[in-house]
Amino acid sequence: ASNDEDTTVEIAWGDIDGDGDLDLVAGNYEGPAKIYFNENGMLQRDAAWSSSDSDETLTIALGDVDGDGDLDLAVGNEDIWTTGCSCFVSGPNKIYLNEDGVLQTAADRLWTSGDTDWTRAIAWADVDNDGDLDLAAANSGLSQNKLYVNGRQGEQDLLDNHPSIDLRWPVNAPQTDNARPIQLITETVIPISYSLFDYEDDLIGRIEAEYSLNGGGQWFAAVPTTATQTTQLSPNGGPYDGLVGYWPLDEGAGTAVYDKSVYGQHGSLQNNPEWVTTTSADLDGFSTHALSFNGTNYVDLGNPAGLSFTGTIAIAAWVNVGATDGIRNIVAHGYNTPPAGEVFLRIENGEYQVGSWNGTSHRAVATIPPQDLNTWVHLAG
């Protein structure tokens, strides 16, 4: 028996972590979906993974939706009746991608349906015979049964993706007996953080927020902070957990570059770097614009609080370089004394380098092969 007390409505078996044995997936009603790993023939009593969503889940199904050789999880949900507004709150069906044996959570989901049905069963099948799995949903009530066609064709997406927003509770009350107790918040200002994304990188026009102090009887407009972007929003650029900044440099003109993550840490062009045009194929379809630098110009992001953090980080960029001598910073943050501190992704004397500096250099290096010159290369470290 597990150590969890959930209202489980459906279970499924599948090798989630790729170790050759069957793990147990539980779809829970009014709670997160969970996975219990099989270790040497024994199911673990504690869930190794749970979604960040607490949905009215009625059905689950495992299938390799993105064609990468592991099992992804689809959950079928129904609408949630909310007494505060005496209305149904949307409960779309969702997919959680499996990335190297670890399923994504709410903040980085691949896909949610644009429909809010009462889904009773879901199933994977290659309906259009194009080599990938499509998702069928059997719905009750006034909802028709529906088929969501997988338009992957080498990419990780389904048709009819819709933008998604995930709110985080200002307090995290422990759940007991399948219910979350009411907690009293006495602060004058209550911050509500959220994650916003659209997998196809479609522009999201506007976001508004409201709050109620009496269970939905009366609503008031929430006040955005100076760092909150509310119009012409753009998504995170894909399902990347922990993304703190994403600058696709796709403006094509002007003196500003925009952070397409939810944090809005925009930058300004210094000393006139040149906007150039690329082809979509150059950057795997990410953009048709780029910036050309001559060694004296750059993009200044300032020093926003959102880029001041500790722990493990990753830096990535597309580059097309014509020379590899000297020090050529691609992305750099810091280089300040005292205290000493810098993180960087750069080229130095014929090497790719990624690392940090705190008075002593810590870095990983790789010799740049000749074929990397004058062509687009994706770097990450």
Contacts of 74 (CB under 8 A, 6+ apart): 60, 61, 62, 63, 65, 93, 94, 95, 96, 122, 124, 135
Per residue in 78-102, pLDDT (tens digit) is 876 655 555 555 578 888 888 878 8
Is the pLDDT at 337 greater than 80? The verdict is no
Helix or strand or coil: residue 266?
coil
Residue 287: Cβ within 10 Å count: 19
Beta pairing partners, 195: 166
SS (H, E, C) 22-91: CEEEEEEEEECCEEECEECCEECCCCCEECCCCEEEEEEEEECCCCCCCCEEEEEEECEEECCCCEEECC
Whether 231 contacts 208, CB under 8 Å: no
- Helix-then-strand count for the chain, H and E: 0, 34
Q: Considering the chain, what is the average pLDDT of its residues?
A: 78
pLDDT for 246 equals: 80
Whether 364 contacts 352, CB under 8 Å: no
pLDDT for 177 equals: 46
Is the pLDDT at 181 greater than 60? The verdict is no
Give the separation between CA 308 and CA 343, rounded to whole angstroms: 11
Stronger pLDDT, 34 or 250, i.e. the higher one: 34
% of the chain residues with pLDDT over 70: 73
Per residue in 235-280, pLDDT (tens digit) is 444 444 567 788 888 778 888 888 776 567 788 999 999 998 876 4
Give the separation between CA 234 and CA 251, rounded to whole angstroms: 12
**Residue 196 in tokens:** 């916003």
Is the pLDDT at 142 greater than 50? The verdict is yes
Nearest to 244 by CA among 344, 163, 315, 350: 315
Give the separation between CA 295 and CA 303, rounded to whole angstroms: 21
Whether 104 contacts 167, CB under 8 Å: no
Cis status of the peptide bond prior to 163, with omega within 30 of 0: no
Give CA angle at 80 (159, 30), nearest 5°.
Answer: 100
**Residue 141 in tokens:** 């009530």
* DSSP class per residue in 93-140: -EEE-EETTEE--GGG-SEE-S---EEEEEEEE-TT-SSS-EEEEEEE
Q: Give, as one character, the DSSP assignment of residue 227.
A: T
Give the separation between CA 34 and CA 29, rounded to whole angstroms: 11
Nearest to 186 by CA among 170, 175, 199, 200: 170
Whether 27 contacts 75, CB under 8 Å: yes
In one letter, which amino acid is 93?
Answer: N
φ, ψ dihedrals at 253, nearest 5°: -165, 165
